């Protein structure tokens, strides 16, 4: 017996189209793909997730990002206001064309490397949430912790937080790279599967 997958939808930046199941398909359709879903708040008798933060920043050496990082550190702001933090060096991103004809940054390889450093350093294991912050993004750690606490998220669940309410295309379906927030379980799933993600998506993409 064999169980496999077939593509049923082709997605582009602004639209998508359905792909019919092959006419010679002889098996039973077992179900659809795993899609994102909202995680309900913890019930009264359910353990609630904490709001401790490990925050990190990747900066480009010899760029304006160095000064931004240093100011944040001096003021104990941005990632340095979190429960724990780390900084990592990145390198210049490339560029490629969207299917719309517009250009986009290709930095997946940069952040695969950064996330590997996150894994090896291990600080993500000491916090309930891991937060990636761009040097030119404004993060108020205590405010984020308050928002997370108010979510009343159930413990041990893989969760990421949507960070914008823009048009789904421009806003990447609610998830852009300036500030990315993941529960510890979500980060663990990434570390268990990142090689498959890399092989499926390729490197000619953006980190989002």
Give this prediction's pTM. Answer: 0.80
Q: For residues 197 and 207, give the distance between their C-alpha atoms in angstroms, rounded to a whole number.
A: 12
Query: Can you give the pLDDT at residue 199?
Result: 81
Residue 23 has pLDDT above 80, yes or no: yes
Mind listing the pLDDT tens digit for each residue in 97-133? 445 455 445 457 788 899 999 999 999 999 999 999 9
Angle 185-73-123 from CA coordinates, rounded to 5°: 25
* SS3 (DSSP) at 16: strand
- Give dist(CA 151, CA 144) in Å, integer: 11
Higher pLDDT, 41 or 16: 41
Tell me which of 30 and 43 has the higher pLDDT: 43
* Mean pLDDT, the chain, whole residue set: 86
pLDDT exceeding 90 applies to what percent of the chain?
Answer: 56
- pLDDT tens per residue across span 73-95: 999 999 999 999 999 998 665 44
| Pick from 12, 11, 9: nearest CA to 21 | 9
Say how far apart CA 161 and CA 183 lie, in whole Å.
9
């Amino acid at each position: 017996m064999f169980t496999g997958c077939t593509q049923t939808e082709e997605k582009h930046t602004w639209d998508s189209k359905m792909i019919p199941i092959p006419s010679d398909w002889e098996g039973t359709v077992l179900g659809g793909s795993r899609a994102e879903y909202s995680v309900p708040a913890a019930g009264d008798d359910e353990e609630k997730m904490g709001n401790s933060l490990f925050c990190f920043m990747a900066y480009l050496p010899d760029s304006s990002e160095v000064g931004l990082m240093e100011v944040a550190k001096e003021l104990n702001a941005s990632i340095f206001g979190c429960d724990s933090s780390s900084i990592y060096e990145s390198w210049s991103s490339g560029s490629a064309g969207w299917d719309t004809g517009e250009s986009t940054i290709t930095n997946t390889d940069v952040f695969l490397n950064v996330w590997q450093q996150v894994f090896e350093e291990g600080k993500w294991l000491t916090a309930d949430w891991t937060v990636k912050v761009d040097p030119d993004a404004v993060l108020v750690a205590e405010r984020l912790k308050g928002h997370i606490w108010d979510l009343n998220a159930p413990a041990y669940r893989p969760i990421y937080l949507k960070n914008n309410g823009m048009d789904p295309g421009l806003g990447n379906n609610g998830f852009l790279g300036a500030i990315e927030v993941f529960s510890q379980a979500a980060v663990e799933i990434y570390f268990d599967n990142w090689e498959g993600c890399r092989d499926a998506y390729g490197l000619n993409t953006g980190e989002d």
